[in-house]
Amino acid sequence: MNTLAEDRNIPGESESLWGKAWYKFRRDRTGMLSLAVVMLFLIIALGVWAGLWGQGWSSVEGSMWAKPSAEHWLGTNIIGQDIFERGIYSTKTAFEVGMVVAILSTILGGLLGALSGFFSNSWADEVILWLMGVLDSIPFYLFVAAIAFALQGFPYSMHIAMIATFWTTTARLVRGEVIKLKNFEFVEAARAIGLPRRLIIFRHIMPNTYHILLVQATIVFVSAIKSEVILSFLGLGVVDGVSWGLMIAESTQEVQAGHYANFLTASILLFALVMAFNMFSDSLQDALDPKKVSA
């Protein structure tokens, strides 16, 4: 696999670049602390997936607006459902939405961005740029509402709308990087020996955009979670299950009645995960900055 380091004829430097990035990230206290918080939320989500906790989120066993107790740690909502169980289960929902949207939109954006950059100023590039311009011109929440209506309650309509929207930024970043990379000597050498274009793109150019894709995936992950909360609050998001957005939506009447447990639980969990992932993304971006890593 050719890399920029190999183009500079530095043996083994391709591995050390990632090693330097990891070393720099480990020395970032903010980054390590935020990573620990994200891993804690991930463990909670994995526990829900495994059925270890959070399975009683839909059970109506308590009384209306019960106070915190040994049985219901954070009390119950307006119909007697355990708020703690619902908050824990919503962590799984957040990770499901974030991971699916981040992975698929990053892959789509990386592929289309690489094709657009490699074949720049061609009809393929013009088509991809036109498509990105059209999608970016449509207001996001209007686009989601249109897809949700068109799919008539399909549970993954929100995911489809997010993926169709979030890939464009990744594609633009990758396109610019590929336009620069395709003029490097290692690409010219690959062309000279007659390698097919697909091998040049996916084996020699794409690996040099992994730092962009990794950072973009973390950014999209956070954006997807925030969008899901807003969409679920508006009734356009999660259909089967519960999420922090649904908890905040159902707490509007509870807050007016002086009961804040539902609202605070969802808000605090959302704030903690989003802030931790934002700080993690910033630290990761600094660690993977080619100028800083190679310094």
Residue range 95-149, pLDDT digits in tens = 999 999 999 999 999 999 999 999 998 999 999 999 999 998 988 878 877 887 7
Instruction: Using pLDDT thresholds of 50, 70 and 90, give the confidence band for residue 65.
Output: confident
Amino acid 292: pLDDT: 55
Q: How many CA atoms lie within 13 A of 261 on its CB side?
A: 22
Show the domains of the chain with their CATH numbers: 4-55+82-293 (1.10.3720.10)
- 87-100 mean pLDDT: 95
Amino acid 151: pLDDT: 76
Residue 82, phi then psi, degrees to nearest 5: -70, 120
Instruction: Using pLDDT thresholds of 50, 70 and 90, give the confidence band for residue 16.
Output: low
Give the residue with greater pLDDT, 171 vs 294: 171
- 173-195 mean pLDDT: 89
CA atoms of 104 and 101, how far apart (whole Å): 5
Give the residue with greater pLDDT, 266 vs 1: 266
What is residue 68's DSSP assignment?
A: P
Give the residue with greater pLDDT, 239 vs 119: 119
Given phi > 0 = left and psi -120 to 50 = alpha, else beta, which region is 217?
alpha
Amino acid 144: pLDDT: 78
Residue 235, phi then psi, degrees to nearest 5: 85, 15
Residue 2, phi then psi, degrees to nearest 5: -85, 145
Distance of CA 241 to the CA centre of its chain: 20
| β-strand partners of 76 | 82
| β-strand partners of 60 | 81
CA atoms of 185 and 217, how far apart (whole Å): 29
What average pLDDT does the chain have?
A: 86
Contact 249, 232 (CB under 8 A): yes
Amino acid 13: pLDDT: 41
CA atoms of 121 and 106, how far apart (whole Å): 23
Q: What is the 3-state secondary structure (H, E, C) of 178-218?
A: HHHHCCCHHHHHHHHCCCCHHHHHHHHHHHHHHHHHHHHHH
**Using one digit for the tens of pLDDT, what is the confidence trace for 211-226?**
899 999 999 999 999 9
Q: How many CA atoms lie within 13 A of 99 on its CB side?
A: 10
Q: Is the pLDDT of residue 209 over 60?
A: yes
Q: Which residues contact 231 (CB under 8 A, 6 or more apart)?
A: 141, 144, 158, 237, 245
- pTM for this predicted structure: 0.86
Amino acid 3: pLDDT: 46
Amino acid 143: pLDDT: 83
Contact 248, 229 (CB under 8 A): yes
Q: Is the pLDDT of residue 12 over 60?
A: no
Amino acid 290: pLDDT: 61
For 137, the token pair is 């011109």
Contact 221, 273 (CB under 8 A): no
Contact 119, 128 (CB under 8 A): no
- 18-40 mean pLDDT: 89
Instruction: Using pLDDT thresholds of 50, 70 and 90, give the confidence band for residue 152.
Output: low
- 188-199 mean pLDDT: 87
Q: What is the 3-state secondary structure (H, E, C) of 74-103?
A: CCECCCCEEHHHHHHHHHHHHHHHHHHHHH
- 162-177 mean pLDDT: 93
Amino acid 275: pLDDT: 95
Q: Is the pLDDT of residue 9 over 70?
A: no
CA atoms of 284 and 4, how far apart (whole Å): 20
Amino acid 5: pLDDT: 43
Amino acid 178: pLDDT: 94
